[in-house]
């Protein structure tokens, strides 16, 4: 696996982000490790030789300071992985949690990309990879706001592809389904369904690296393309099936 020089991975203190950082470092990439858990970041930095960048992306001031710190960095790869979840009926979603979800999942990637893109454009090369979610492409009952933030991230990534065509900067998107991480514990509702089976964070990390090497859309697992295609071709049938069998996680 070829190295990417320098890469920023957001949400690197656990799960997909940590697995991605390890994989990139194994290929010779110097990884800038963003996260909120300083202790975990320090341990990962000791393991990978990376540089820690602790910050809470829900805090506008911390987002701004992180963007300023990175603006002049010659990044070869930017991985937008940090994300929050919440599950339950929409009226029960606390206002503060809604604000955090939107800030971390959508506002932060938009702001960081805007801040870091000029240096990539000046160099004429770079890769940006977004870790979205199948929830953003099919909708999920009980996770309306989470799904909306991921759908917004999808639209941003696709629009950026058009905008950056011919500049030497590629945009990749990784669309995971259920992943075996702490995400479900942190969202306040464990994953209890027998299907689909959760995949490992390492499997998603491999897709992130592939998306950086060859920009495009990568579903993990690949069969998730099927419900997305069904929704696009026969939305009525898709919605009937989803309502009957429960489009929730």
Q: Return the active site residues.
A: 146
Is 55:34 a contact under the CB 8 Å cutoff? yes
Q: How far apart are the first and last CA of the chain?
A: 34
Token code pair at residue 154: 């999808």
The tokens 């970041």 sit on which residue? 41
**Whole-angstrom Cα distance, residue 14 to residue 43?**
11
Instruction: Return the CA Rg of the chain.
Output: 17
> Which residues are bridge partners to 179 per DSSP?
199
């Amino acid at each position: 696996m070829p190295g990417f020089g320098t890469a920023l991975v957001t949400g690197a203190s656990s799960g997909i982000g940590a697995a991605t950082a390890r994989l990139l470092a194994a290929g010779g990439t110097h990884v800038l490790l963003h996260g909120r858990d300083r202790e975990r970041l320090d341990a990962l930095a000791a393991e990978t030789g990376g540089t820690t960048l602790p910050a809470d992306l829900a805090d506008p001031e911390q987002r701004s300071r992180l963007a300023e710190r990175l603006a002049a960095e010659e990044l070869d790869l930017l991985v937008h992985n940090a994300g929050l979840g919440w599950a339950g009926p929409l009226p029960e979603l606390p206002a503060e949690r809604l604000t955090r979800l939107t800030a971390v999942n959508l506002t932060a990637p938009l702001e960081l990309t805007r801040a870091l893109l000029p240096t990539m454009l000046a160099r004429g090369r770079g890769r940006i990879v977004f870790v979205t979610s199948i929830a953003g492409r099919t909708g999920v009952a009980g996770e309306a706001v989470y799904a909306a933030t991921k759908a917004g991230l999808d639209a941003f990534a696709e629009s950026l592809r058009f905008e950056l065509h011919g500049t030497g900067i590629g945009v990749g998107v990784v669309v995971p389904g259920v992943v075996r991480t702490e995400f479900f514990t942190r969202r306040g509702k464990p994953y209890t369904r027998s299907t689909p089976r959760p995949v490992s964070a390492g499997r998603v990390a491999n897709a992130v690296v592939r998306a950086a090497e060859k920009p495009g859309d990568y579903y993990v697992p690949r069969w998730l393309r099927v419900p997305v295609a069904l929704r696009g071709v026969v939305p009525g049938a898709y919605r009937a099936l989803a309502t009957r069998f429960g489009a929730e996680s």
